[in-house]
Amino acid sequence: MFTGIITDVGEVAAREGGRFVIRCGYAADGIAIGASIACDGACLTATRVDPSGAGSTFAVDVSNETLARTTLDDWRPGRRINLERALKAGDELGGHIVAGHVDGVGRVVDIRPDGPSRRCTVEVPAELAPYIAPKGSITLDGISLTVNEVKETLFGINIVPHTLTHTTLAAKKPGDRVNLEVDILARYVARQLELRR
């Protein structure tokens, strides 16, 4: 379980098939083998941890299912990715409840300045659109964000300066693909309504 509050921006150090090695700022002795780490929003399991200068590297094995349903198959060495450690009992829930289960891949349609912030429009797969509502929560590449407006398969968000400087969103451009996780509460409400029909 996560909150969508990014705690580090890591980098893909190596890839061999479905195995990725990720360089991060987390101390190696603070990452247990088997620990869950959200990587651009996908919950992955650390299978090896090694010290590396000021931080460490950890390895993850990614299934073909995850590669097919996320942006992870696009990852190459040098790519920067958002990281979040799993929530511990007693931690502050600063974003919203995030499972780390990517629902689909969206596409950035437009990004434009709005004072010190940026407004971003994202297109989502049609099957995810019913779960997205104005002032609701959504996760983009692991980042908890508030939806401003929704129109059919498009939704808009406002990215504040702190988020721009502490995540990978400042580098996004139109056409880029992003991992999406809809609000888990919206998913369960929609399921209950479906069962009552």
How much is the pLDDT for 184?
A: 82
How much is the pLDDT for 197?
A: 74
How much is the pLDDT for 48?
A: 96
How much is the pLDDT for 88?
A: 82
Q: Is residue 119 part of a domain?
A: yes
The rounded distance, in Å, linking the Cα atoms of 114 and 100 is: 29
Verify that 163 and 121 share a domain, yes or no.
yes
Q: Is residue 12 part of a domain?
A: yes
Verify that 26 and 73 share a domain, yes or no.
yes
How much is the pLDDT for 80?
A: 98
Q: Is residue 173 part of a domain?
A: yes
Verify that 134 and 165 share a domain, yes or no.
yes
What pTM does this model have?
Answer: 0.92
How much is the pLDDT for 196?
A: 79
Length of the chain, in residues: 197
How much is the pLDDT for 89?
A: 76
Regions of the chain short of the pLDDT cut 50? none
